[in-house]
């Protein structure tokens, strides 16, 4: 159905018959596109190794913002101060008499 020859970095393909269903009945077959695909675009295997220099970060790019310091010491101090203030308010003598 197809003749081919290398041409530079590609290939030259030529159908031996006209692309008409009367001349080439395989065109009506539902499997024809699957048969034609490997002829037109052969599958390329993915590369297994790549040079690290090709994927190295480029200098002069945007730097990431510094992460903020954790607030745990400040949060612990705030909790302690609130606890002391609550206890002081709960135990002071100037409370009114309950009915």
CB 1 within 8 A of CB 17: yes
User: Other CB atoms closer than 10 Å to residue 39's CB: what's the count?
Assistant: 12
pLDDT in tens, 1-34: 788 888 887 788 888 888 888 988 888 888 988 8
Nearest CA among 44, 45, 27 for reference residue 36: 27
pTM of the full predicted structure?
A: 0.37
Predicted pLDDT at 63:
79
pLDDT in tens, 56-81: 888 887 777 888 777 788 888 999 99
> Which pairs with CB-CB distance under 8 Å and at least 24 residues apart come from 1-8?
1/26, 2/39, 4/39
3-state SS of 25-80 is: HHHHCCCHHHHHHHHHCCCCCCCCCCCHHHHCCCCCCCCCCCCCCCCHHHHHHHHH
Predicted pLDDT at 80:
95
Cα–Cα dist 92/87, whole Å: 9
């Amino acid at each position: 159905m197809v003749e081919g020859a290398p041409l530079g970095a590609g290939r030259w393909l030529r159908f031996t018959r006209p692309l008409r269903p009367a001349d080439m009945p395989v065109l009506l077959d539902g499997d024809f596109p699957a048969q034609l695909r490997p002829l037109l675009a052969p599958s390329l295997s993915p590369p297994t190794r790549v040079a690290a220099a090709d994927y190295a970060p480029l200098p002069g790019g945007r730097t990431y913002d510094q992460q903020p310091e954790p607030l745990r010491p400040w949060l612990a101090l705030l909790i302690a101060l609130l606890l002391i203030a609550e206890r002081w308010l709960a135990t002071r003598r100037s409370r009114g008499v309950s009915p």
